[in-house]
Amino acid sequence: MGLRTIVVSIAGSPSSLITAKYAIALAKLLSVKLVALYVVDKKVLQDLLKSRIFVDVEARVYERDLEQQGAAILERISKMALDKGIAFESFLMKGVVSDEVFNKAQELQADLLVMGELKEKMSRTEVFYDEGERILRRSPCPIVMVKNPAMVEALYKEIGPL
Amino acid sequence: MRFSEFLTKESCVMDLNTFTKEAAIRELADVLTKQERVADEEDFIKHVLEREMLGSTGIGNHVAIPHCPTRSVKGVVVAFGRSKQGIDFQSFDGQEVNNIFLMGTNPEDLNIYLKLLATLSKLLNDRIFRQEFGNAATPDELIAVFKKHEK
């Protein structure tokens, strides 16, 4: 029984494209399908509403903006995957990031989850609230955490186009 | 996301010279502009004041967090100001505001900005943090309180 599906969690940070490139390279080398997930973090918006830092209309605008950013980055990754000739699908979701990634990875019966690097040092609060940390702990399948952007770029070039 | 990584000594004003909401926002925006963190100060202030029109960012416990996303700022910016006299921010609890965090973000850094606001909110919910933060008299002491509670 070989690998069939790799899922990559896209956080929307500046290093997201590096994470995506490594996932694309892996999918190409292993000849498997790649599924990219972007989750609009509704929990953080709800928390900011509850603490009165945000008002309703403002939270809705942020949600829309995050959704647009997510759609744009998934579109970009989709083109990159197409260029490399791999089977690709993406999902733009909303909710608690770690819950959504966990549920989708489980639903897709993912064989591998690729995610970005976590910060080297985290405070107790950060560890408790960080969604990346939660994904790492809860993932239903093995995880690859992407490090070393220079190596990733080199590998991505090496796998060549379609 | 550690708030203390975004707060610098130079962006803390421990005794604001202003006595109204708009003037305090302007004073803090000016601090950020002088540090070359804001490209267009008037545009930044305009967006912050427009946000205030939607509802006060006075969140209670003598704290206000005026904020907005705008292309006029570079990355995520934070300035802190303390008013000894207190400023009427139309806070929901009716109390005057003594501690103001002016924050802004370039739309490209929205995710970082939201996490930073959430971090600040969690810290301010902690009574012990609020007490120590209130006792901090200098920028160094203030940043030290953040660092202590973000360990």
* Residue B148 · residue A123 · CB < 8 Å: no
pLDDT at A121 over 90: no
Count the neighbouring beta carbons within 10 Å of the beta carbon of residue A127: 13
Q: What is the largest CA-CA distance in chain A?
A: 52
Round to whole Å and give the CA distance between A53 and A69. 22
Residue B136: per-residue pLDDT: 96
pLDDT of residue A131: 83
* Residue A21 in domain: yes
What part of A 52-81 touches B (C-beta under 8 Å)? 52-53, 55, 57-58, 62, 65-66, 69
In a domain, A61, yes or no: yes
Per residue in B75-129, pLDDT (tens digit) is 999 999 999 999 999 998 999 999 999 999 999 899 899 999 999 999 999 999 9
The pLDDT confidence band at residue A28, using thresholds 50, 70 and 90, is: very high
DSSP element (H, E) containing B12: strand B12-13
Domain membership of residue A48 as a residue range = 5-153
Question: Structurally, how many domains does chain A consist of?
Answer: 1
In chain B, the percentage of residues whose pLDDT exceeds 70 is 100
pLDDT of res. A126: 66
d(CA B118, CA B3): 10
Q: What pLDDT, on the 0 to 100 scale, is given for residue A124?
A: 64
**Residue B144 banded pLDDT, cuts 50, 70, 90:** very high
In a 10 Å sphere around its CB, with 0-12 CB exposed, 13-18 middle and 19+ buried, how is residue B87 labelled? buried
At A2, the pLDDT band (50, 70, 90 cuts) reads: confident
- Quote the CA–CA distance of B76 and B103 in Å, as a whole number: 7
For residues A20-44, give the mean pLDDT.
96
Q: How far is B52 from chain A (nearest CA, A)?
A: 10
Give CA torsion, residues B16, B18, B24, B30, to 10 deg: -80
pLDDT, tens digit, for every residue of A61-83? 999 999 999 999 999 999 999 99
List the CATH number of the domain containing A79.
3.40.50.12370
Residue B48's nearest CA partner among B19, B75, B27 is B27
- Tell whether A160 is covered by a domain: no
State whether residue B115 sits within 8 Å of chain A by CB.
Answer: yes
In a domain, A91, yes or no: yes
Beta strand pairing call for A33-41 and A88-95: parallel
A120 band by pLDDT with thresholds 50, 70 and 90: low
More confident residue, A20 or A14: A20
pLDDT confidence of residue A132: 83
Residues A122 and A119: their CA atoms lie apart, in Å, by 6
Alpha helices, DSSP H, located in chain A? 16-30, 42-50, 56-83, 97-107, 124-129, 131-138, 149-158
Q: What is the pLDDT of residue A115?
A: 95
Q: In this structure, is residue A68 part of a structural domain?
A: yes
Nearest to A123 among B111, B121, B151 (CB): B151
Instruction: Tell me the two tokens of residue A76.
Output: 């970009």
CB-based contact, B75 to chain A, within 8 Å: no
The pLDDT assigned to B17 comes to 94
Q: Tokens standing for A24?
A: 């694309």
Token digits of residue A161:
């186009």
CB contact under 8 A, B114 and A41: yes
Residue A103 included in any domain:
yes
Question: Does A161 map to a domain?
Answer: no
Residue A158 domain flag: no
- Is A53 in Cβ contact with B59 (below 8 Å)? yes
| DSSP category for residue B100 | E
| End-to-end CA separation in angstroms for chain A | 26
Average pLDDT score over residue span A4-20: 91
